């Protein structure tokens, strides 16, 4: 069965927020690690129709958020179900998100930001063709963390095939 994207429902947002638990340093990505982010994630008016779940074999395998920055630029956020991470699923998951963003929003560029400790994700992003743009510090999860902003040119073919 092919994966598909659907607008995230409230029930799906609650499932992700309340039951997805990452281990070790990746617990940074648990939704309840930052109460402000959690409140926004659980608020349907704030999610609007910019959050999508990825359904694979009738189960949520991950989610994406798509924020239109300009006519040419879309910023994405993403999360993969914890038990699917760290075992080689990232590249295909990211390709699906880029394909969806390209077909849905027709951007020339896709940006994302990633915590710099998350070398696993950064490696996947680079394999697909994302380039480093800048490092910045952001307050979140009760402290300040360094992030890396990356950019993907949509007119370039995928790398790492």
Among 54, 62, 111, CA closest to 82 = 62
Alpha helices in the chain (DSSP H): 10-19, 35-42, 44-47, 90-105, 119-128
pLDDT value for 158 = 64
Look up the pTM and report it.
Answer: 0.92
pLDDT value for 157 = 65
Give me the domains of the chain, ranges plus CATH numbers. 4-153 (3.40.630.30)
pLDDT value for 140 = 87
Q: Please give the chain's pLDDT, 161 residues, in tens.
A: 578 999 999 999 999 999 999 999 999 999 999 898 999 999 999 999 999 999 998 999 999 999 999 999 999 999 999 999 999 999 999 999 999 999 999 999 999 999 999 999 999 999 999 999 999 999 888 889 999 999 999 987 666 44
């Amino acid at each position: 069965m092919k994966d598909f994207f659907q607008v995230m429902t409230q029930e799906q947002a609650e499932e992700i927020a309340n039951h997805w638990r990452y281990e070790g340093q990746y617990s940074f990505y648990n939704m309840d690690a930052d109460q402000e982010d959690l409140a926004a994630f659980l608020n349907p008016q704030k999610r609007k129709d910019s959050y999508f779940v990825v359904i694979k074999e009738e189960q949520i395998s991950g989610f994406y958020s798509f924020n239109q920055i300009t006519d040419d630029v879309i910023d994405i956020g993403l999360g993969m179900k914890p038990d699917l991470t760290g075992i080689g699923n990232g590249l295909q998951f990211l390709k699906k998100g880029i394909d969806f963003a390209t077909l849905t929003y027709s951007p020339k560029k896709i940006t994302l930001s990633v915590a710099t400790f998350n070398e696993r994700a950064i490696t996947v992003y680079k394999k697909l063709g994302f380039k480093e743009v800048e490092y910045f510090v952001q307050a979140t999860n009760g402290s300040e963390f360094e992030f890396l902003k990356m950019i993907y040119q949509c007119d370039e073919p995928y790398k790492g095939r």
